[in-house]
Structure 1
Amino acid sequence: MNQTAAFRTETDSLGAVEIPALAAWSVQTQRAIDNFPITGVPISQYPELIAALAMVKKACALANSGLGVLSAARADAIVAVCDEIIAGRHHNQFAVDVMQGGAGTSTNMNANEVIANLGLLKLGHRYGDYAELHPNDHVNRSQSTNDVYPTAIRLAVLARTVPLIEAMQQLVSAFHAKGEEFTGIMKVGRTQLQDAVPMPLGAEFRGFANTINEDIQRLADLSALLTEVNLGGTAIGTGINAPEAFRELAVTHLREISGEPLVSAADLIEASSDLGAFVMFSSTLKRIAIKLSKICNDLRLMASGPRAGLGEIILPAVQAGSSIMPGKVNPVIPEVVNQVCFQAIGNDLTVTMAAEAGQFQLNAMEPVIIHKVMETMGSLTQAMDVLRSRCVQGIIADEARCAALLEGSLVHVTALVPVIGYEAATKLAKFAQAHGFSLRQAAGGALPEALAAQVMENLAGE
């Protein structure tokens, strides 16, 4: 093998394959690169997944070494490479498309081959000298894609949950701050886009904060479902080709390496095919997206105008809004967040269908599940950061507009029901609306003198 050439040739049972000479991957990775030019998104785009794969391989190498089925020299080489990958190195060598057939085999083999070849360099050998350190016989010892990949994708989601929760917490704080800032400003509360009753603008923003906040704990609780792993189950959960003590020892090492409270699944056969935890987790992401999108809808409506809409709040102007209409500024930040939320909702349907598509002892659709869950988490994290920093923190209340809309509305009529009764209040409201009067102006023409006096007395402080 001439490593000074542009390519090197390696072979497998299907024949010879040309591989870029400097690539640390081998035949199976190259075949996957050629077979799956699907999304253009390599698995390296999800660094949490690459680090998780390295953690699993490190834990397995330590377990195999401890059980005497892998030499200390080989284990040390594997561990050293894995530590470098966990630290963020070599991620460009993980080149297979995130969307792939084979239930994640291409991803697992990409990891096996890269770790083997980089380990060979540490042992003083060249790429491809697999008699010294083999992707399958040594790096993948006591393992199968069917326990490595499900374990790694769970670790990847757990890692990506941390910045998502932080983004949620910061957005909650921003909404709470605006709630306090707007506490003394009264406005028209609305139901079904119709005037309802008076409310403080600050209470509306505190409501936004609380609707996001209540899902933080829910997301943390559901993350616990992902700490149950099937590592050690190998192909279908029976543990074939793994030493008897491997399962417990590998999970113990992985728990220490990852810092996550991992436990071995009680039923490895069930755990090898069941993706219910991802369904529930994805459903919670959808719930967050739905609520976030509704908030953005409200912000856009409240800021509509500037003169012919509600105009209760003013969103920060971050860019010109039109190529033809001078001075127009659009609510582009809430708009882009809406779109992220739509994507999250669609991704959840993909996860649902993929989880349903499992057959017997394996679900071959795991790659699209991790792709869509990680995509949703990343987009929601970024969207909430952008919404907070480029929109919410800069919102200004138009107090005069809020007061004018409140004064011109009939929403105070609800407070009169206990005083004059529902029927009289209805008559008053309809008379005021028909004649364009305020409630005070309508009282004399719509109600008997005694009731009109009660109306005036109760509205005196409004």
Structure 2
Amino acid sequence: MKTRTEHDLLGDREVCAEAYYGVQTLRAIENFDICGVKLSAYPKYIKALAIVKLAAAKANNDLGLLSDEISNAIIAACEELIDGKLVDQFPVDMIQGGAGTSTNMNANEVIANRALEIMGFEKGDYDHCHPNNHVNLSQSTNDAYPTGIKIGLMLMNEDLVANLKTLVASFRAKGVEFSDVIKMGRTQLQDAVPMTLGQEFEAWAENLSEEIERLNQNAKLFLEVNMGATAIGTGINSEPEYSELCIKHLCDATGMPIVLAGNLIEATPDTGSYVMYSSAVKRLAIKLSKICNDLRLLSSGPRCGFNEINLPAMQPGSSIMPGKVNPVIPEVVNQVAYKVIGNDLTVTFASEAGQLQLNVMEPVIVRSLFESMEMLENAMSTLRERCVDGITANVDHCREMVMNSIGIVTAVNPTLGYEASSRIAQRALSENRSVYDLILEEGLLTKEKLDEILAPERMIKPQKFIKA
């Protein structure tokens, strides 16, 4: 392999001549073989880092700190990264020591070497464009890195919310499809009162729809950044006008209303926005898991369970039991939810662990958040495409269970009164007979009036009382 020699604080190293990254990235590759997930796994994160470096270059040029030639080359290199190029040049593990320095330097080195090529120089010829002196000018890892994280999270939140909206639409469509399917509602796994299957699906749709606002609301916390804070928030090695200019260029590059934090010393170690957003992601995961529990329960059987709905058959369910088909899609979504809940706990511990003017645990925070978001996106797509869209209802079975249920006695309670209704319910249970037949047998209501009270459309929404 052809190499080039690069040096850093610790000495000289040979770097692959074709690589756009440099010696500090090489050391990070060697030091951090931890989770096996590289920066390259998240192209939008790389895009966000490039946006930060682009804005910094423009601000430094505005201030006369970078020549037009160098700044234009850096900007051009950043634009290529923003367009999705050179993603494979980010081989650093997501989980790393150093508070994100390896990530920042990976970006600095790739951008510097691509800028050198654009200017007509060889990779590694850092006299003309240096990763630290030029690409990282007026910055520290401690402001550039978290700003990149926050922009990356904003970009990924857009995808997560779009995916969630599509899943909500699928549940709503099933709500319409099943609007006339009468079934028994249940509380504490016991018969409650009738409802429609459509109402059940619409409730799930509404339950998930609430999370769209929660995710977007919490993501807005990422709009406050600390660019210009440099090392600890004092702004050392940046000019007074730098922050304002950099924020302006960040807004222009992203189209987002990004603002500078009011107190940069406070903002530099603060990870509160990650905690808040992680909680919203966890909340979505919990709701998805509960819905999947319901789907599994309602489809249980087919002969000895609820058997109210049929989930699409995805694969044979057993290596020993012929004919068995399992609810594998809801099951996998449950497991994703458990992982997201665990990641939220990781974010909590990592956020608490910061000391003094910096939180060095940000790498595991961003890894946890990115993983949760990616897994939830995949889980929601899978749930929609391979489960929800193909669900069918066992209409006759649902109605039969309603008519045989003790729970329909609640519908006659306003007419017969609680005492008579309780007596009928007890008789129905002890004698294994239907509420309907017993009411007629005791002459409590005429068949016509009883049929009117027990009409499906009367039992699923508020109605005027009918007198006996």
Deviation at 1:415, TM superposition (A): 1.8
Native 8 Å contact 1:419 1:454 kept in 2: no
Which of 416, 436, 441 is equivalent to 2:437? 441
Which of 375, 392, 408 is equivalent to 1:412? 408
Native 8 Å contact 1:198 1:406 kept in 2: yes
* Counterpart code for 1:459: L
Native 8 Å contact 1:432 1:441 kept in 2: no
Which residue does the alignment assign to 1:453? 444
* Counterpart code for 1:34: E
Q: What pairs up with 1:152-301 in 2 under 5 angstroms?
A: 152-301=148-297
Q: What is the CA–CA distance in structure 2 between the aligned matches of 1:124 and 1:40, rounded to whole Å?
A: 35
Which residue does the alignment assign to 2:32? 36
Which residue does the alignment assign to 1:139? 135
Deviations 1:267-315 (A, max 9, x none): 1111111111111111011111111111111111111111111110111
Which residue does the alignment assign to 1:13? 9
Q: What is the CA–CA distance in structure 1 between the aligned matches of 2:234 and 2:449, rounded to whole Å?
A: 77
* Counterpart code for 1:299: L
Q: What pairs up with 1:66-105 in 2 under 5 angstroms?
A: 66-105=62-101
The yes-or-no answer on 1:127 pairing with 2:118 is no
Q: Which moved more, 1:418-427 or 1:228-237?
A: 418-427
* Counterpart code for 2:191: D
Deviation at 1:178, TM superposition (A): 0.7
Deviations 1:368-425 (A, max 9, x none): 1111111111111121111111111111111011012112211111122222322332
Which residue does the alignment assign to 1:25? 21
* Counterpart code for 1:306: P
The yes-or-no answer on 1:314 pairing with 2:310 is yes
SS of the counterpart of 1:195?
Answer: strand
* Counterpart code for 1:196: A
Which residue does the alignment assign to 1:370? 366
Q: What is the CA–CA distance in structure 1 between the aligned matches of 2:435 and 2:220, rounded to whole Å?
A: 56
Q: What is the CA–CA distance in structure 2 between the aligned matches of 1:59 and 1:42, rounded to whole Å?
A: 24
Native 8 Å contact 2:4 2:124 kept in 1: no
SS of the counterpart of 1:460?
Answer: helix
Deviations 1:94-153 (A, max 9, x none): 111000011100000001111111111122221211111111011100000000011000
Native 8 Å contact 2:404 2:435 kept in 1: no
Q: Where does structure 1 lack aligned partners over 5 or more consecutive residues?
A: none
The yes-or-no answer on 1:115 pairing with 2:106 is no
The yes-or-no answer on 1:382 pairing with 2:369 is no
* Counterpart code for 1:106: S
SS of the counterpart of 1:8?
Answer: strand
Deviation at 1:335, TM superposition (A): 1.0
Which residue does the alignment assign to 1:64? 60
Deviation at 1:15, TM superposition (A): 1.9
Q: What is the CA–CA distance in structure 2 between the aligned matches of 1:13 and 1:44, rounded to whole Å?
A: 26
* Counterpart code for 1:165: V
Deviation at 1:458, TM superposition (A): 4.9
Q: Where does structure 2 lack aligned partners over 5 or more consecutive residues?
A: 455-468
Native 8 Å contact 2:350 2:361 kept in 1: yes
Q: What is the CA–CA distance in structure 2 between the aligned matches of 1:16 and 1:93, rounded to whole Å?
A: 21
Which residue does the alignment assign to 2:428? 432
Q: What is the CA–CA distance in structure 1 between the aligned matches of 2:389 and 2:119, rounded to whole Å?
A: 55
Decide whether aligned partners of structure 1 residues 175 and 236 sit closer, same or farther in structure 2, where only a CA change above 3 A counts. Answer: same
SS of the counterpart of 2:195?
Answer: strand
Q: Which moved more, 1:399-408 or 1:144-153?
A: 399-408
Count of paired positions: 453
* Counterpart code for 2:13: V
Deviation at 1:91, TM superposition (A): 0.7
Decide whether aligned partners of structure 1 residues 437 and 124 sit closer, same or farther in structure 2, where only a CA change above 3 A counts. Answer: same
Which residue does the alignment assign to 1:52? 48
SS of the counterpart of 1:273?
Answer: coil
Which residue does the alignment assign to 2:459? none
Which residue does the alignment assign to 2:326? 330
Native 8 Å contact 2:440 2:447 kept in 1: no
* Counterpart code for 2:374: G
Deviation at 1:20, TM superposition (A): 2.1
Q: Which moved more, 1:420-429 or 1:19-28?
A: 420-429
Q: Which moved more, 1:337-346 or 1:5-14?
A: 5-14
Deviations 1:227-286 (A, max 9, x none): 011011111111100011000001100110111110111111111111111111110111
Deviation at 1:444, TM superposition (A): 7.1
Native 8 Å contact 1:59 1:253 kept in 2: yes
Identity, % of aligned positions = 54
Deviation at 1:62, TM superposition (A): 0.7
Deviation at 1:457, TM superposition (A): 6.1
Decide whether aligned partners of structure 1 residues 434 and 83 sit closer, same or farther in structure 2, where only a CA change above 3 A counts. Answer: same
Q: What is the CA–CA distance in structure 1 between the aligned matches of 2:426 and 2:272, rounded to whole Å?
A: 54
RMSD: 1.4
Q: What is the CA–CA distance in structure 2 between the aligned matches of 1:96 and 1:213, rounded to whole Å?
A: 37
Q: What is the CA–CA distance in structure 2 between the aligned matches of 1:374 and 1:256, rounded to whole Å?
A: 25
SS of the counterpart of 2:230?
Answer: coil
Native 8 Å contact 1:416 1:455 kept in 2: no
SS of the counterpart of 2:183?
Answer: strand
Native 8 Å contact 1:440 1:455 kept in 2: no
Decide whether aligned partners of structure 1 residues 453 and 256 sit closer, same or farther in structure 2, where only a CA change above 3 A counts. Answer: same
Q: What is the CA–CA distance in structure 2 between the aligned matches of 1:107 and 1:272, rounded to whole Å?
A: 17
**TM-score, scaled to structure 1:** 0.95
Deviation at 1:18, TM superposition (A): 2.7
